[in-house]
Amino acid sequence: MASQDERTVMDPRVAQNRENWDDRTEIHLGSEFYDVERWLREQPGPRAREISALGDVSGLSLLHLQCHFGLDTLQWARAGATVAGLDFSPVAIEAARDIARRAGLADRSEFVCSDVYDATNALGARTFDVVYVSLGALCWLPSVDRWAAQVAALIAPGGRFLIHDVHPAAWALADDSLTIEHTYFEEADPFVDDSPDTYTDADRPLVRRRSYEWNHGIGEIVTALIRHGLRLEWLEEHDWTVWPRFPWLVRNGDENFGPPPGTPRVPLSFSLLASRPD
C-alpha cells in the first residue's frame, strides 16, 4: 500500500464533488429510487444485459469503480463473484459495508474509499478478472485518459472491462428539449452545478450543492482505453436509459426510459466491453 505522500493529490473540484456526494448519499439511502430495504428483501442479481455481456462470473474477482453505496457491486457477489467496490465518498463506503453485512455478503465483498485516479495505490496494485463501471460515473472526472490508465492497470491479463454509462450526446442535450446546450467533448472547464436537487426523490435539498461535471466523447473514451492497452470487443449505443433523465422521456418496459413514439431516437446511454490481452 502506498504512503499518503505517494498518492495522487485530489483535484479540488473533485474534492468538492466528494462533499456533494457525501450529501447525496445521505439522501439516496432513504430514497424510493434506491429502496434499500426492498433491495435487501428481494436480493436481486445483476441485470440480464450485464450477465449476457460477462457470462458466468462464479469464482471471478470483480472490481466496481465509483460504486456509490454498493448495490450494483453486491449484485455481482450474489452471482458468485468475489467483489470489491471503490468510491471517493466515505459516507457511501460506510453505507456499502453496512448493506453488505445486512445482506449476508460481507464475506464476499470489500469496500475501499479512494479517488478513482488513485485506485491502483489504494488497492495495493492488485488486478481483477473483471473491472466494472455502472451508470453515472464518467461525468464526475476531468480526464478520461487518467481514468483509462487506472482501468487498464487494474485488469488482470485475460480480464475484461464492462461499462454502461450516460451517452455523451445525451449529456450535451438541454434538459427540456432536443437541443444542444453543453459541449460534447472533454474540455478543461467543467459544467458547474449549484442545484439543490439530486436525481432521486428527496426529503430535503442538498446542503453541499456545488458540483463539477465534464463530458467525454465516445471517441475520446474508446481511444483512451485502447491507448492504455485494452482491446475493444464491442460498443453499443442505446436509445434508452434506466432513469427519467429528461422530462420528455417515457417509460419503456419495466426499468428503461426512452423517447416518446414519433420523436427522434437519440443515444441516451452506451455499453462497452473491452479486454486485456494475455
**pLDDT tens profile 19-60:** 999 999 999 999 999 999 999 999 999 999 999 999 999 999
Q: Is residue 254 part of a domain?
A: no
Judge whether residue 61 has pLDDT over 50.
yes
pLDDT at 5: 37
> How many whole angstroms separate alpha carbon 268 and alpha carbon 236?
11
Q: Is residue 156 part of a domain?
A: yes
> How many whole angstroms separate alpha carbon 259 and alpha carbon 252?
9
Nearest to 47 by CA among 251, 221, 241, 258: 241
Judge whether residue 6 has pLDDT over 80.
no
Judge whether residue 251 has pLDDT over 50.
yes
Q: Is residue 94 part of a domain?
A: yes
Q: Is residue 278 part of a domain?
A: no
> How many whole angstroms separate alpha carbon 162 and alpha carbon 54?
8
211-241 pLDDT, tens digit each: 999 999 999 999 999 999 999 999 999 999 9
The secondary structure of 19-61 as a DSSP string is: HHHHHHHHHHTT-TTT-HHHHHHH---S-HHHHHHH---TT-E
Q: Is residue 166 part of a domain?
A: yes
> How many whole angstroms separate alpha carbon 245 and alpha carbon 238?
14
Domain CATH code at residue 152: 3.40.50.150
Crossing angle of helices 218-227 and 144-154, rounded to 10°: 40
pLDDT at 3: 36
Q: Is residue 274 part of a domain?
A: no
162-175 pLDDT, tens digit each: 999 999 999 999 98
What burial class does residue 39 get, using C-beta atoms within 10 Å of its C-beta: 0-12 exposed, 13-18 middle, 19+ buried?
A: middle
Confidence label for 2 from pLDDT (cuts 50, 70 and 90)? very low
Average pLDDT over residues 93-118: 98
In this structure, are residues 83 and 76 in contact, taking their beta carbons and an 8 Å threshold?
yes
**Which of 126-130, 174-178, 181-185, 257-261 has the least mean pLDDT?**
174-178
Domain span at residue 187 reads 9-245
Q: How many CB atoms lie within 10 A of CB 244?
A: 12
pLDDT at 8: 64
Crossing angle of helices 90-102 and 71-78, rounded to 10°: 30
Q: How many CB atoms lie within 10 A of CB 21?
A: 23
Whole-prediction pTM value? 0.94
Confidence label for 159 from pLDDT (cuts 50, 70 and 90)? very high
Number of folded domains in the chain? Answer: 1
pLDDT at 7: 53
Q: How many CB atoms lie within 10 A of CB 175?
A: 9
Per DSSP, which regions of the chain are E strands?
A: 61-65, 82-87, 109-113, 128-133, 155-166, 191-193, 211-213, 231-238, 250-252, 256-258, 269-275
Q: Is residue 255 part of a domain?
A: no
H/E stretch holding 218 reads helix 218-227
Express as a percent the part of the chain with pLDDT over 90.
90
H/E stretch holding 67 reads none
Q: Is residue 263 part of a domain?
A: no
